[in-house]
Amino acid sequence: MSAIGDTDRRHLWHPFTQMADWDKADPLVITHGKGCELYDEHGNAYLDGSSSIWVNLHGHRKGAIDRAIKRQLGQVAHTTFLGLTNPPAALLAERLVRLAPPGLSRVFYSDNGSTAVEIALKMAFQYWRQRRVDPRPQKRRFMHFNHAYHGDTVGAVSVGGIDLFHATFRDLLFPSERVEFPYCYRCPFGKSYPACASACLEPVERALAEKGPEIAAFVVEPLVQGASGILTMPDGFLKSVRELCSRHDVLMIADEVATGFGRTGTLFACEQEGVAPDVMCLSKGITGGYLPLAATLATDEIYQAFLGRYEEFRTFFHGHSYTGNPLGCAAALANLDVFENEDVLARVQPRIRHLWRSLNDELGDHPHVGEIRGRGLMVGIELVADRDRRTPYPLEAQVGNRIGRKIRERGILIRPIGGVVVLMPPLAMTRPQLTRLVRGTRWAIDQVLAGA
Ligand SMILES: *Cc1c(COP(=O)(O)O)cnc(C)c1O
C-alpha cells in the first residue's frame, strides 16, 4: 500500500463510511485532476461521475476559477465578516440576488449546505416571533417531506426524512411535521401517474390546513430529492406546494443546495415551475466545486423583521468564523462568469439529451433496472431484484456499494446510494465521456448483479 494510504488508515475517519470495511481495501489516493478526470498516485485516470459529490460543474483546474482564486490570494485569503466587509462577498451577493427567483434580496453567507439550512430555519423561526405586524410566535415548527435530506447538523437532521440516517439521533432532534413525498415509482398512495390526478397534493394541503398555524416554514428540495435516491416530483407539484404555503401563511424554504447552479438544466430548479421561495439555500455548486461556501437568501419582508433599535435585540444572532470568506466568494464570482462567458446553460442542453438517450439505449430494457429518473445531470437508476414486482435488493446485499467499487476497474468514479446508482456528471462532461460513463455503469451493474 502507498504511504498516504497507510497514513490514512492509521488516522482518518471518513464520512458515511463503515471504517471496518474501509480497512479491508487499499484507499484510492487522488493526487490531481484535469477537466472531468481525476488521477490517482499511480497516474491512473478516472472519470469524475459524481462531480466530486455533486459540487463540480466546469471540471477540475478550470482556468478562470484557478486564476480568480490566485488573484484573491494575492490580496488576502480571509478577513472576518463581523464588523467588516470585502469586495468578493459584496459583489457576489449582488450577482446572486440578480440571478435568484424574484423577491430574494438579502444574502447571508456560511460554509456548507447544512449551515445554509440551519440559518434558513433559525431565520424563519425568529421572523415569526418578531415581525412588526401580527407577530405569530406560535409558528415555531417546521414541515418537511418524507425522504428529504437537508444536511447533517442537528437542525438540518430534524427536518430530514431518511430514517436510516436520522433514526439514531431521534432523541436529539426537535419535533417536526413530515408529509408524504410523491415517490411515483413506489407511490405511497398506491396510485399511478398520471391517472392519480396528483392525489399526492391532498396530504400536503391537509397538513398545512391542520398544522399551518404552528408551522413557520416548509422545507423543500425543489424538483429532485437527491440524497434519498434522486426522487423526482411530478410536474406542477412544486408550484402547487408554493401556492399552498402562501395560502396557509407558511414560509417556503427552497433547499437548492444540490439542484442549484445548472444541475437540473436551469440555473435554479425553482425556475422550471416559476416558483419564488421565501428563503433559498445554496451551496455545493456555488464555487464550481472549488471551496466550501454557502448562501441563504431571504426576502425583504423577512429581512425587515430583523431591523430595529440595538436594544430591541432583533438582530439575527448567528455567524461563523469563515462567514463571507473572500477566497470562496472570488471562486463563486468566477463560477458565475463561466456560466455567462461560456453560455454554459445553453451548451449543457445537448449533453443532457445525449445522456438520457444513452441511458435509455443502454439500460432502458435492463431486467434489473426498475426506473431511470432525474432531471438534467442528476440521474438515479433504481435497481430491482424483480422488475415486475419492483422488489428492491436488501440493503445488506450492498449492490450499490459493490457497483461503485467495480466500476473503478473501468476508470470511473460514482457513488451509488443504497440500491440506486447515481450519475451526477459535471456540466462540462463531453458527450463521448457521458457515453463512457453510461456504458461503464451498465457493465458494472451486469458484473455485480450476475453474482447477486
Ligand atoms: C448536500 C446537501 C445538503 C448538505 O450540504 P453539506 O454541504 O454536505 O452540508 C443539504 N441539502 C441538500 C439538498 C443536499 O444535497
State whether the beta carbon of 113 lies less than 6 angstroms from ligand 1: yes
Q: Return the SS3 of 188.
A: coil
| Residues composing the chain | 452
Q: Return the SS3 of 381.
A: strand
State whether the beta carbon of 114 lies less than 6 angstroms from ligand 1: yes
CB 28 within 8 A of CB 34: no
Q: Left, alpha or beta for 391 (phi > 0: left; psi -120 to 50: alpha)?
A: beta
Banded pLDDT at 153 (limits 50, 70, 90): very high
* Other Cβ atoms within 10 Å of 216 Cβ, number: 25
Ligand 1 site-directed mutation target among 109, 149, 162, 232, most atoms within 8 Å of CB: 149
Amino acid code (one letter) for 36: C
Which atom of ligand 1 is the closest one to the Cα of 294?
7
* Whether the predicted pLDDT of 71 surpasses 70: yes
State whether the beta carbon of 362 lies less than 6 angstroms from ligand 1: no
Banded pLDDT at 139 (limits 50, 70, 90): very high
Q: How far is CA 246 from CA 54, 138, 213, 277, in A?
A: 31, 18, 12, 10
Phi, psi of 422 (to 5 degrees): -105, 125
> pLDDT tens digits for 27-60?
999 999 999 999 999 999 999 999 999 999 999 9
User: Residue 116 C-alpha to ligand 1 middle, in angstroms?
Assistant: 9
Q: Give me the CATH topology for the region 67-341.
A: Aspartate Aminotransferase; domain 2 (3.40.640)
User: Residue 306 C-alpha to ligand 1 middle, in angstroms?
Assistant: 26
Domain boundaries in the chain?
A: 3-58+343-449, 67-341
Amino acid code (one letter) for 191: K
State whether the beta carbon of 151 lies less than 6 angstroms from ligand 1: yes
Which atom of ligand 1 is the closest one to the Cα of 256?
13
User: For the residues of 159-186, what is the DSSP string, one character each?
Assistant: T---HHHHGGGGGGSPP-EEE----GGG
CA pseudo-torsion sign 370, 372, 373, 379: positive
State whether the beta carbon of 221 lies less than 6 angstroms from ligand 1: yes
Query: Is residue 12 packed enough to be buried (19+ CB in 10 Å), middle (13-18) or exposed (0-12)?
Result: exposed
User: Residue 257 C-alpha to ligand 1 middle, in angstroms?
Assistant: 6
User: For the residues of 193-253, what is the DSSP string, one character each?
Assistant: TTTT-STTHHHHHHHHHHHGGGEEEEEE-SSEE-TTT-EEPPTTHHHHHHHHHHHTT-EEE
Cis-peptide, bond into residue 194, ω within 30° of zero: yes
Which atom of ligand 1 is the closest one to the Cα of 284?
7
CB 331 within 8 A of CB 288: yes
State whether the beta carbon of 287 lies less than 6 angstroms from ligand 1: no
**Per-residue pLDDT averaged across 68-88, rounded?**
98
Element (H, E) at 334: helix 326-341
State residue 11's pLDDT score. Answer: 96
**Per-residue pLDDT averaged across 61-84, rounded?**
98
State residue 267's pLDDT score. Answer: 98
Ligand 1 site-directed mutation target among 253, 284, 291, 424, most atoms within 8 Å of CB: 284
Flag the least confident range among 163-167, 190-194, 332-336, 349-353.
163-167
Which atom of ligand 1 is the closest one to the Cα of 151?
4
Quickly list H helices, 12-86.
19-22, 51-54, 63-73
State residue 195's pLDDT score. Answer: 87
Q: pTM value? A: 0.98
- CATH, range 3-58+343-449: 3.90.1150.10
Closest CA to 412 of 434, 397, 430: 434
Ligand 1 site-directed mutation target among 110, 159, 162, 283, most atoms within 8 Å of CB: 283
* Whether the predicted pLDDT of 452 surpasses 80: no
C-alpha cell at 99: 440571478
Q: Return the SS3 of 257.
A: coil
CB 393 within 8 A of CB 399: yes
State whether the beta carbon of 255 lies less than 6 angstroms from ligand 1: yes
Which atom of ligand 1 is the closest one to the Cα of 152?
9
User: Residue 150 C-alpha to ligand 1 middle, in angstroms?
Assistant: 6
State whether the beta carbon of 118 lies less than 6 angstroms from ligand 1: no
State whether the beta carbon of 259 lies less than 6 angstroms from ligand 1: no
User: Residue 314 C-alpha to ligand 1 middle, in angstroms?
Assistant: 28
Quickly list H helices, 82-149.
87-99, 113-130
Mean pLDDT of the chain: 97
State whether the beta carbon of 147 lies less than 6 angstroms from ligand 1: no
| Atom 11, ligand 1: residue with shortest CA distance | 150
State residue 165's pLDDT score. Answer: 79
CB neighbour burial string for 148-180, b if at least 16 within 10 angstroms, e if fewer: bbbbbeebbbbbbbbeeebeeeeeeeeebbbbb
State whether the beta carbon of 149 lies less than 6 angstroms from ligand 1: yes
Banded pLDDT at 166 (limits 50, 70, 90): confident
Strands 369-375 and 294-299: unpaired
Banded pLDDT at 1 (limits 50, 70, 90): confident
